[in-house]
Amino acid sequence: MNKSILIYVLTGILAASIPAEAAFKATLIMPGDKSWEGSIIARDGDWIEFSTGKSPRPIRLGASTIKELVFDVKLDAEKLAEMNRNREYERVIAALDRAMAPYVEYSDIPSNLTKYNALLMELYYKTGDFEKSLEVSCKIAGDDRDLDLQEKSRIYQALALIDSGRSDEAEALLSEYGWDQGLDNDAAPEKLYITAKLMVLKEQYSNAMELVAKVIAFNSQNPDWMQPAELLCAQVYAELGMYDSAEEVIRQISLLYKNTNEDDQAQKLKIRIEQLRAEQELKKSIEPENV
């Protein structure tokens, strides 16, 4: 899901160590889009010291008056992309954390770090660290410079809440964003998917099934949402006791999404279904004795 961000982030950026001294190369963009190349020297509470290198003394600016900072973050894009392909998420997270650590002090100021944070948000979610994913996504959700990113962060907000079992908050969030309305055939796949997940959390499996079925039936050319939707679909079929159906979906996941997180989870589900079937068989074999 949402590989585009990853690709975007990892394109043409190479890893480099951040200078030990406090000065960072950065582009300062002020309201009205006037910008200066230079270095951030230091931060003193709400004040930022910025040097253009042309005048002997740095200028002091209120942090809240800065429209955006563009840091010169250096990452080895190809290496990170490869690690991500290999699903070495922890390593990617560590690399991003390292690369962004020096800028933590400026995290309250809008900057080009948002796209890296968006990547982190996804990776935290993938590794099951929903709290951190939620923390990052909430922050991005309040940043309207990039509407696509903002929308994506909202999705992760909802997903993180649902996966951490916070159904009431998730429900309130969906209602706030109006995602609980108009869940018809033409609804956006992410909206259907998230609501389906919420229904699963609330153990309303039939409702969940219908929603996730819509994602699959009407968005089959959308690989970003098909992959998680198919896994969810198999899970819900299993919850409904429709094991044959669940196994059929698992078979398709294995065929289409080999070596993915979804495939791994589908294989685990397959084992669980086998256990459930065995229990069912055992129960059946015992039942006549009880009669």
Partner 1 sequence: MNFFHRYCGIALKASLLVVFLSAGTSAAQDFSSMGISDVVASADRMLQRGDYGAAIPALEEVISRTALLTDSQGMDTAQTCRFQLARAHYQTGNVASGMTVLDEYLANEPRTKERIALRMMAQGFFDTQEWDKVENIAVRLLEFPDLEKEDIYNANLLLGQALFRLEKWQEAVEPLANAAKTAKDQRIKSLCQIMIVRALVEAENWRELFGWIPRIYRTDSKYDITLNLTLMKAGKVRFEDDDYLNALLLYRMVLPREELLEFSGEYEKKLTAKLNKDMKVGIPEAEVEERQNEIKDLKTSIKTLSELPAYEEEVTFRIGQIYAEVKRYWESYVLFDKLYNSDRNSEIGEASILQSVLILYDVGENNRAEERILQYLDEKPDGLYARTLLNMMVRDNLVRQEFSNVVGLRTSVEGLPAAGSDDEKTLQSDLYFMLAFGYFQSKDYKLAGEQFSVILDSFTDSNHAADSLYYRGMTFMLQGDYVNALTDFKAYQAENEFGEHLSASLFREAVCEFGLENIPSAEAVFTRFIDKFSDDVLVSEAYSMRGDIEAAKEATYEDPHTLDRALADYRKGIDKAFSAQQASYAAFQAAKVYKLEFKWQEIIDLMQYYMDRWEEKANVAESVFWIGQSQIELDQVDDAVTAYLDAIERFGNDPLQQGVDKIILELVKISGYHLSDEDRDGLAVKVKLKLTSIDERMEVLRLRLQVTQALLEGDDIAAALGAELLESNIKLALTTPASLSLMCDAAIDTGNIKEMDRLFEYFNSNYEESDLLWHAYRAKTHKLLTEEDFWGVLASIDEAQGLFGAEAFMAWAQIIKADTQFKMEKFKEAEKEFNMILGVPEWRGPVFAEAMYGMGRCRLALGDLETAHSFFQRTYLLFKSYADGEWAAKGYLAAADVLIKLGREEDAVKTLQAMLEDEYTNTSPLAEQVREQLKKYGGQ
Q: Does 2 bind partner 1 (CB under 8 A)?
A: no
Q: Does 255 bind partner 1 (CB under 8 A)?
A: yes
CB of 111 to partner 1, least distance (A): 28
CB of 226 to partner 1, least distance (A): 8
Strand 59-62 versus strand 68-71 pairing type: unpaired
Residue 3 or 60: which CB sits closer to partner 1?
Answer: 3
Residue 168 or 244: which CB sits closer to partner 1?
Answer: 244
The CA distance from 167 to 153, in Å, is: 18
The one segment of 49-57, 132-140, 251-259, 276-284 that binds partner 1 by CB under 8 A: 251-259
Binding track over 137-176 against partner 1, x by CB under 8 A = ----------------------------------------
Long-range CB contacts for residues 128-131, cutoff 8 Å, separation at least 24? 128/163, 130/160, 130/161, 130/163, 130/164, 131/160, 131/164
Pick one of 107, 204, 206, 267: the residue that binds partner 1 (CB under 8 A): 206
CB of 244 to partner 1, least distance (A): 5
Residue 48 or 211: which CB sits closer to partner 1?
Answer: 211
The one segment of 148-156, 158-166, 253-261, 280-288 that binds partner 1 by CB under 8 A: 253-261
68 is written with which tokens?
Answer: 């955006």
Q: Does 27 bind partner 1 (CB under 8 A)?
A: no
Pick one of 249, 250, 266, 273: the residue that binds partner 1 (CB under 8 A): 249
Q: Does 207 bind partner 1 (CB under 8 A)?
A: no
The one segment of 17-25, 37-45, 59-67, 214-222 that binds partner 1 by CB under 8 A: 214-222
Give me the residues that bind partner 1 (CB under 8 A), please.
3, 185, 206, 209-210, 212-214, 216-218, 220-224, 227, 233, 237, 240, 242, 244-245, 248-249, 251-252, 255-258
